[in-house]
Amino acid sequence: MEEFGMNTNFYTFTNQKTLIEDFSKTIIDKLEKAIEKKGEAVLLVSGGNTPKPLFEKLRTFDISWNKVKIGLVDERWLDGKHEDSNAKLVKEYLLKDKASKALFIPLYQENLDPLKSIDICSTLVKNKLFPCDVLILGMGDDFHTASLFPNNEKLKDGIDLNNEKYCVSMTPSTAKHTRMSLTLSAILKADNIYLHIQGKNKKEVYEKALKENDFLLSPISAVLKNEKKQIEVYYNE
Ligand SMILES: O=C(O)[C@H](O)[C@@H](O)[C@H](O)[C@H](O)COP(=O)(O)O
């Protein structure tokens, strides 16, 4: 079932399996079209639990993964071996089987202080991961997306559409670890932007976010209500 909002197309699936079947095919189609057109494709993914079955499905597709660059929409600033690292999550769930040939571009750099490395990370993301063909967001119950967290002093920079930097770093009050995140302006540069959410609770948060105009309280609302790009929302109960 499809519902069309201001800038959002909302696709509801009755279960995770049917969503993953449909969503993975949509993503693979975008990647293949990019490879056909440019000779390469860029996929940026978020962390969390929701994308795990999607990653496991994506890696089964037989496409030219050696022409796909995979990066992160955000990272907890941790060594790639730490259990909470998004790089670890991507390596464990996505960069296997057919997709093992993809080129992964990590955000975390051991010798950098994230709070002082925004310019370094922004340059890396801009030069190595953009133009971006597919960007997949998740959403927290606190209305965060990527690592753009509410009630955070750095969020203003993170969602300022005039901020030309591609990254922002913040230490959330509602989640563990200092983070490096793409900024809203970077996220909206992606050609195809998806929000992947699961469970009735997330649906309620999503519906509240559509009505919330204070983006400092609800960063996901800054994405959903943007005036530049269509957001494709994939949801199953
Ligand atoms: O690094 C992260 O934590 C993610 O990028 C984050 O934005 C995630 O997408 C949401 O927190 C949803 O996480 P779940 O899918 O686990 O609910």
pLDDT value of position 3: 60
Q: Whose CA is nearest to atom 11 of ligand 1?
A: 140
Cβ 85 under 6 angstroms from ligand 1: no
φ/ψ of 61, rounded to 5, equals -75, 135
pLDDT value of position 233: 98
Domain around 221 = 2-236
pLDDT value of position 230: 97
pLDDT value of position 75: 98
φ/ψ of 137, rounded to 5, equals -105, 155
The stretches in the chain having pLDDT less than 70 are 1-6
Q: Whose CA is nearest to atom 9 of ligand 1?
A: 138
For residue 113, report the distance from its CA to the centre of ligand 1, in Å: 22
pLDDT value of position 60: 98
Please give the ipTM for the structure prediction: 0.98
Give the total number of structural domains in the chain.
1
Q: Which of 46, 54, 84, 86 to mutate to test the pocket of ligand 1 (most atoms within 8 A of CB)?
A: 46
pLDDT value of position 1: 56
pLDDT value of position 206: 98
Q: H-helix or E-strand containing 180?
A: strand 179-182
pLDDT value of position 43: 99
The domain that contains 207 carries what CATH number?
Answer: 3.40.50.1360
